[in-house]
Structure 1
Amino acid sequence: MLTLREPAHAELLVRKSRFIACVQPVEGRAEAQEVVARLRSEHPGATHVCWALLAGGQSAANDDGEPSGTAGRPMLEVLRRQELDGVLATVVRYFGGIKLGAGGLVRAYTDAVAQALLQAHKVPPQRTVMLAVEVPYELEGLVRREAAAHGAELLQAVHGAEVSLLLSATEDAAQALRARLDDIGKGQLRWREPD
């Protein structure tokens, strides 16, 4: 299985209809629905905003008013054939006045997603892990800066006798961050199991 490093786009014109495709990495259905809602607001004149999602068993396909099975499902099949996961495919359609028929719609939506995937950088998926660390107050800023530099996300900071930080990062980044913090912390940081 592969995922995408960043979004990729393509645009097709088929018998005066405009198909604007995007494929992008997403965590799951909630994020996918946010992307689709944003596209609807960015393209108020679009006839359809169709989408397909493959993300950790959360597969979904939506024809958004196109004849059943002519948009979302063919888009989903393109993602499946390319063995992708954690990927959302969207196609915004502006109707050009000429009906394409069921076969024409399937080809147009399939081609739009396939063209976007040709532009995409496919990478192995990275698992996200949690890191929990107890930090003296004087090192909190340093730890936060290092976490940001390694692409880790600060999920929680609790200030008590020490500062308890909960971080989220990809496996590779987490390993590198922990090694770096152990090095610069000189034994003053205490790692614990995340709750």
Structure 2
Amino acid sequence: MKTYKTLHSFGSDEYIVEKSTFIGYAKPIKSEEEAVEFINEIKKKHKDATHNVWAYTVGETMNIQRYSDDGEPQGTAGIPTLEVIKKEDLRDVVVVVTRYFGGIKLGAGGLVRAYTKGAKVGIEAAQIIEKVKYKEVGITIDYNQIGKVQNEIMNMGYTIKDTLYTDKVQIIVYSREEDVQSLKSKMTDITSGTAELSESESFYLSEKDGQIIL
């Protein structure tokens, strides 16, 4: 899988409807065990809450999907929370919506809307990002080439991770996997073939609106 959507980090937010407080929590996870651990943490934190509804997906194809209404009427809480995750096409994500009952019943439709919004505010606080496959490209050059090479890298829109100064200069660049050959060809051209080029194994970096988030 070249790209997929997930969350950047832990996030939470809350809102009130008909005196009931709904607190949305969301977090990226790497396994079902991590999801369960997070759910248990929130349940412990809010053991006095009326309900701690949860849902999560694990795997590149969302092959693991779980949810719980935690005592709310069937279909009014866990499924709406899971549907928010699926609608946003998020992988490896857990969401918990905690409810403190305010004394006014919301009805089935009201509960669906409330838990949907609770999941959304938690997810928005955690920040949706895209995971994209990258490689590190090492460009080793002579000192007299550094200005030209750095300018070209920046003009092409690449991000420089690091610059190492020894008897030569090594510039380490983050490149999307599909752009590696283009970058290496350009570096070969502008250094008349004198640049020493290397590339790492592929790995995922986070992007938001096309920009790398580290």
What interval of TM-score do these two structures reach, taking the shorter chain for normalisation? 0.5 to 0.7
Equivalent residues, number? 131
Distance in 2 between the 1:84 and 1:77 partners? Answer: 10
Q: Does 1:48 align with 2:80?
A: no
Give the structure 2 partner of residue 10 of structure 1: 13
Identity of aligned residues (%): 41
2:203 to 124, 149, 171: 171
CA contact (8 A) 2:131 2:204 kept: no
The aligned amino acid for 2:77 is: A
CA distance in 1: counterparts of 2:71 and 2:125, whole angstroms? 28
Indicate the SS of the match to 1:53: strand
Gaps of 5+ in 1: 128-169, 174-195
Q: Deviations over 1:117-174 (max 9, x none)?
A: 23332223378xxxxxxxxxxxxxxxxxxxxxxxxxxxxxxxxxxxxxxxxxx9258x
**Secondary structure class of the residue paired with 2:86:** helix
Q: What RMSD in Å do the two structures reach over aligned CA positions?
A: 1.8
84 and 14 in structure 1: CA distance in 2 versus 1, 3 angstrom threshold: same
SS in 2 for 1:54: strand
The question of whether the paired residues in 2 share the 8 Å contact of 1:28 and 1:58 is answered with no
* Alignment equivalent of 2:69, drawn from 49, 63, 68: 63
Kindly state the Cα deviation for residue 47 of structure 1 after the two structures are TM-superposed: 0.8
Runs of 4+ aligned structure 1 residues displaced above 3 Å come to none
Contact 2:7 2:28 in 1 (8 A): yes
Relative to the length of structure 2, the TM-score reads 0.57
Match of 2:117 in 1: 111
Q: C-alpha separation between the residues in 2 aligned to 1:52 and 1:99?
A: 23
| Corresponding residue for residue 136 of structure 1 | none
Contact 2:80 2:116 in 1 (8 A): yes
Displacement after TM superposition at 1:84 (Å): 0.5
Distance 1:122 1:100 in 2: 29
Q: What is the distance in 2 between the residues matched to 1:62 and 1:172?
A: 31
Alignment of 1:1-195 (within 5 A): 1-56=4-59, 57-125=63-131, 171=203
Counterpart residue type for residue 26 of structure 1: I
Q: Which has the higher strand share?
A: 2
Q: TM-score, normalised by structure 1?
A: 0.63
Q: Distance in 1 between matches of 2:33 and 2:92?
A: 12
